[in-house]
Amino acid sequence: MANIRYIQILVFALCSSLLIITTQSHGHSGLPKRHAPLFILGDSVFEAGNNNYFNTTARANYKPYGETYFKYPTGRFSDGRQIPDFIAQYAKLPLIPPYLQLDLHDFSYGVNFASAGSGALDGTRRGSVISLKTQLSNFKIVRKSLRKKLGDHEAKSLLSRAVYFFNTGSNDYLFAFDTDPTVLGSYSQQEYVDLVIGNMTSVVKGIYKRGGRNFALLDLWPMACLPYGRGTLEKKGACFDTITPYVTLHNKGLANALQKLEKKLEGFRYSFISSNEFLTKRMNNPSKYGFVEGKVACCGSGPYGGIFNCGGMKISKKYNLCKNVSEYVFFDSSHPTERVYEQFAKKIWSGNSITAPYNLKALFEN
């Protein structure tokens, strides 16, 4: 009888020890040790549905958006998943939800702040988007929430491991040309580009000041030759080459700005990603990469599908929709298809041909 009692006590002690070890290893959040969250900032290329929650025309919460993968419109400007969705998958994270999602309470895996139509400049589509500066303010709120939930030490560790993924700037140029070209006339090309990049780096430094250390930023696409550039801005079917000098200056300037930040900020690590080179190759030689059409959008109207009315929710209601979206580089006038995004995500995750000095996998394994 004494032996049985001794065994019971021993088993109880062992189970209690295991429970304590398990609890300590998971901390407050129950997350795997050393996991790195993903925080996403930017525009429609990264938008996951924030614009669904306020009054704006910059939305994609209607069909046929989302039908390839989700089977319903989520607010993403594509037929399916976007670059951050694939990166989250490769990093063994769940889909990163939009910040304004009403039932969102856990930010431990990260959050998506991106807003379609926004730019680096506060004045870009002011009042109808969440500006990059406001996205930074929302990050500060999330940081405060994490500190309250996890404690200062664990929150600091989590935020320092996180990857901060940016795509912004294109709307600062596109909407200036499309809606108010006089804005550009107030500055030299270099001065205007410096304003855009200055706002971008200001937000990067704001996140760094609050614990961020790992940053990934995309350069600008070949905007002159997007279906939107060919079919709407140029109106003659040629590339809208007037915008190209801004794109060239921006991409060079952003690369230089990140190099300077790396030298100035201790522990700052980054990936500068050449989306321009990647997309240009698929536009000019689609068959080499498994596509049929590289210049015309699958969904839209007008020359090259360049009128932005996919889904018929804009002023112009009639639109065309291709039969096989997987054959197209572009889904609508300004945004690629899920297949393109997947190819891109794979390339920047573990490759080094369009990422420098780190790829995304290296940032997550910091």
Task: Judge whether 343 lies within some domain.
Answer: yes
Work out the number of other CB atoms within 10 angstroms of the CB of residue 278.
Answer: 23
> Among residues 108, 115, 301, 335, which one is catalytic?
335
How many structural domains does the chain have?
A: 1
Task: Judge whether 103 lies within some domain.
Answer: yes
CA distances from residue 321 to 138, 309, 312, 363 in whole angstroms, order as listed: 36, 11, 11, 38
Q: What is residue 213's DSSP assignment?
A: -
pLDDT in tens, 83-97: 999 999 999 999 999
Task: Judge whether 215 lies within some domain.
Answer: yes
Which sign, positive or negative, has the C-alpha torsion 73, 74, 79, 80?
A: negative
Mean per-residue pLDDT for 344-364? 98
Q: For residue 271, indicate whether it is catalytic.
A: no
Task: Judge whether 316 lies within some domain.
Answer: no
Range of the domain at 54: 35-290+339-364
CB 65 within 8 A of CB 51: no
CA 277 from centre of chain: 18
In this prediction, residue 289 carries a pLDDT of: 99
CA distance 320 to 82: 22
- DSSP structure string for 337-351: -HHHHHHHHHHHHH-
Work out the number of other CB atoms within 10 angstroms of the CB of residue 233.
Answer: 19
The encoded tokens of residue 219 equal: 């350069």
Q: For residue 335, indicate whether it is catalytic.
A: yes
Q: For residue 353, indicate whether it is catalytic.
A: no
The average confidence (pLDDT) of the chain is: 91
> Among residues 271, 275, 332, 334, which one is catalytic?
332
pLDDT in tens, 254-274: 999 999 999 999 999 999 999
Task: Judge whether 126 lies within some domain.
Answer: yes
CA distances from residue 90 to 46, 79, 213, 255 in whole angstroms, order as listed: 17, 20, 20, 25
- For residue 98, the domain's CATH number is 3.40.50.1110
Q: Where residue 33 falls among pLDDT bands split at 50, 70, 90?
A: low
CA distance 154 to 161: 11
In this prediction, residue 95 carries a pLDDT of: 97
Task: Judge whether 46 lies within some domain.
Answer: yes
Task: Judge whether 306 lies within some domain.
Answer: no
In this prediction, residue 213 carries a pLDDT of: 99
Residue of higher predicted confidence among 5 and 307? 307
CA distance 215 to 273: 11
pLDDT in tens, 58-83: 999 999 999 999 999 999 999 999 99
In this prediction, residue 16 carries a pLDDT of: 39
Task: Judge whether 5 lies within some domain.
Answer: no
> Among residues 44, 108, 271, 334, which one is catalytic?
44
- Percentage of residues in the chain with pLDDT exceeding 90? 83
